[in-house]
Amino acid sequence: QVTIQFSYNYISIQSHQLIIKNVFKLKLEFKLKIAHLKSNVLQITKIQKRVIINSKIVISYM
């Protein structure tokens, strides 16, 4: 299980999927088989839970 935290200016969440647009503006380093990058859009599936704290979003993956 992996947890990351970042501001969500470019983020949308739809049914256990995290979609980050303009990904070239983000500095994220992780190794997830459930993530894929396509034309500056990072899409992460199988999100276990999400919490929004102080304008930041905290994501936990299975």
Q: Which domain holds residue 13?
A: 2-61
pLDDT single digits (tens) 52-62: 666 556 666 55
Q: What pLDDT is stored for residue 22 in this prediction?
A: 62
Q: Using one digit for the tens of pLDDT, what is the confidence trace for 3-57? A: 556 555 566 666 666 666 665 555 555 555 556 666 666 666 666 666 666 655 6
The DSSP H or E segment spanning 42 is strand 41-45
Is there a contact between 19 and 11 (Cβ–Cβ < 8 Å)? yes
Report the domain count for the chain. 1
Summary mean pLDDT of the chain: 60
What is the per-residue pLDDT for 46?
65
The pTM is what?
Answer: 0.33
60 in Cβ contact with 11 (< 8 Å) = no
